[in-house]
Amino acid sequence: MSVNAVRRRVDHLEKALGFKVLTRHIDGIRVTPEGEKVFAIANRMEIASFDLLQARDSTEATVSGEVRLAVTEGLGTFWIAPRLVEFQRANPKLLIDVNCAMKSADVLRMEADVAIQITRPTALDLRLVRLGRLHLIPFAAPSYLETFGTPKTAADLVRHRILVQSDDNVQFRELYDRLFPNISPTEIVALRTNVSSAHYWSIAKGAGIGLLPTYAQWIGAPIVPLDLGIHETVDIWLTYHPDVKHIPRVARLIDWAIGAFSPQKYPWFRDEFVPASDLKDAYRHEPIATMFASSAA
């Protein structure tokens, strides 16, 4: 404000109160004892007003609008989508826009409010939260094992039909080269897909053996984890623009997403590897069949 505007505001306040809050001196402006009391009261009023706004924002009925979540296709299809009913019921006035894709969204350019991905973003201006870790092991359908037999070691895989997801991923190319040195993919790879859902259903329908997260044994058709000493890990990252954390509807989505990947609750997201055969014993919450029922439907 200009000096004249401030002077008019102070004059109006003093007339309303009936006493001086400021006095003018040669060396500047001084606050009167009465003015100090007014200042202290105004501070308490400001704190109370912030509490009121916080209470308003925490009320479910007032959180409305649209919130945009971008998520890696596999996590979006098999983990996030079945869980979103919890978030939607808790926030019935929110429109949740979920974008599942292999390519990560650019939250700095506001392509999404929140992104969940398996590649760590490199932009320095982003806020990052490591949600957990995916543990990938070989799986096969019972029908495939009945037809082609069960491999006993990783070396046995050269005599089997291998399914690969997205050979553009450097980590999976390196894994292939470690497992099958000097063997062309055309000799043993039966199917290569670029999305997780197609990769999963190809395995589940008996097309071959492929890597999946350890919890994949419960998300649909029955598949069998294979203990071949093959274990790959991928970290899961949540990222968002720092400014959106102050938007109540986005903050609520961020808090929900962190809980949805809680390693304490869901042992398949822990840093340490829990063998697929031990996951049920390590999980202490709602029954597995109930939790994955919406995925298997």
Please tell me the predicted confidence (pLDDT) of residue 85.
Answer: 87
The single-letter code of the amino acid at 160 is: H
Residue with tokens 């089997």: 160
Architecture per CATH, 3-58: Orthogonal Bundle (1.10)
Whole-prediction pTM: 0.73
Q: With a cut of 80, say whether residue 181 has pLDDT above it.
A: yes
Q: Which two tokens stand for residue 153?
A: 């070691």
Do 182 and 231 touch, CB atoms closer than 8 A?
Answer: no
The values of phi and psi at residue 285, to 5°, are -115, -145
Do 37 and 84 touch, CB atoms closer than 8 A?
Answer: no
| Residue 104 to residues 64, 69, 95, 122, 234, Cα–Cα distance (Å) | 26, 11, 21, 12, 15
* Burial group, residue 70, by CB count within 10 angstroms (0-12, 13-18, 19+): buried
pLDDT bucket at 58, cuts 50 / 70 / 90? low
Please tell me the predicted confidence (pLDDT) of residue 111.
Answer: 77
Which pLDDT tens digit goes with each residue over 73-97?
899 999 998 888 888 888 888 999 8
pLDDT bucket at 297, cuts 50 / 70 / 90? very low
In the chain, where the domains are located:
3-58, 65-297
Please tell me the predicted confidence (pLDDT) of residue 126.
Answer: 84
Which pLDDT tens digit goes with each residue over 129-146?
999 999 999 999 999 999
Q: With a cut of 60, say whether residue 169 has pLDDT above it.
A: no
Which pLDDT tens digit goes with each residue over 208-217?
999 999 999 9
Do 129 and 256 touch, CB atoms closer than 8 A?
Answer: no
Chain mean pLDDT for the chain? 86
65-297 CATH fold: D-Maltodextrin-Binding Protein; domain 2 (3.40.190)
Please tell me the predicted confidence (pLDDT) of residue 229.
Answer: 92
Which of 80-89, 230-239, 257-266 is predicted least confidently?
A: 80-89
Which pLDDT tens digit goes with each residue over 94-137?
999 888 876 666 665 667 899 998 888 877 788 899 999 999 99
